[in-house]
A = this chain, B = another copy of it.
Amino acid sequence: MRIALLGGTGNIGEGLALRWAPKHDVIIGSRSAEKAEEAAAFCEELLLEKGKTCELSGEDNIQAIADCEVIVLALQYQYAMPTAVAIKGKLNSSAIVVSPVVPMTKDGFLRYEPSQKYGSAALEIKNTLSDNEVVSAFHTTPAARLLDLDDKLGLDVLVCGSEKPKKVVMGLIKDIGGLTPFDAGPLEASYMLESITPLLINISARNRIKNSSIRIVGQQIK
């Protein structure tokens, strides 16, 4: 698939670029085409060190999304929203927009604080990019672990969205290897995923661990 990672010069964006590049057509997007090209070259180099020859391209955001089937808004909340506005009307109507975006504020501890009007970043993005399907995912996937190509991960990724695009994204998650997707409901349930990000950052800080994530522990239904 052709996947654009907007904010692909940041940690989670570069991490996903590295992990998807061996199997997919990955375009790193940034407000600066030059920075995007640098990030793409950096990813190619890291992959080559592991014996993997992959081609990634770097473009400015608007160029990056051209003909893409999946577009990840790998950006902090304050940059994700203006980027959504900037790409509106310029992406394929069939493109799936993936949101790992989490609105957070600091108040002694990190608080999940979505806009009251929309209730979650995912629904706020959906409101802007109303012609496209939005799927929320990767809120609990530590960027640092994706960036370490020796890390076998072994993590779970909770995914919210409409059934069809959610299946596509769950497939892409499986392609990474070491990540197991779980269906966590419709896009409207995203607020219950997004709030886990600040929770995990608080837990890391208070329990002397880093790059906290979660695993789902369930019992098989016989």
Residues of A near any B CB (own CB < 8 A):
107-109, 111-112, 145, 154-155, 158, 182-186, 188-189, 191-193, 195-196, 198-200, 202-204, 206-221
Whether the Cβ atoms of B182 and A207 lie closer than 8 Å is: yes
List, in ascending order, chain B residues with CB within 8 A of A185's CB: 109, 199, 202-203, 206
By the criterion CB–CB under 8 Å, are B212 and A214 in contact? no
Residue numbers in B under 8 Å from A155 (CB-CB): 217
Note all chain B residues with C-beta closer than 8 A to A204. 218
- Nearest CB in chain B: distance from A109 CB, A: 4
Query: Hey, which chain B residues are within 8 Å of A218, CB to CB?
Result: 203-204, 207, 209-213
The answer to whether residues A199 and B203 also contact, given A212-B216, A215-B217 and a CB cut-off of 8 A, is no
How many identical subunits does the complex contain?
2
Cβ contact within 8 Å between B189 and A199: yes
Besides the contacts A111-B188, A192-B196, A213-B218, what 19 more A-B pairs have beta carbons closer than 8 Å?
A109-B185, A109-B186, A109-B188, A182-B203, A183-B206, A185-B202, A192-B195, A196-B196, A203-B216, A207-B216, A208-B220, A209-B216, A209-B221, A210-B221, A212-B216, A213-B216, A214-B215, A214-B216, A215-B215
Q: Which chain B residues border A211 with CB–CB below 8 Å?
A: 218-219
User: Would you call B220 and A202 a contact (CB within 8 A)?
Assistant: no
CB distance from A90 to the nearest CB of B (A): 32
Distance of A210 Cα from B217 Cα, bound (Å): 9
Contact in complex: B109, A189 (CB < 8 Å)? yes
Q: Is the CB of A219 within 8 A of B214?
A: no
Contacts of A207 in B (CB 8 A): 182-183, 216, 218
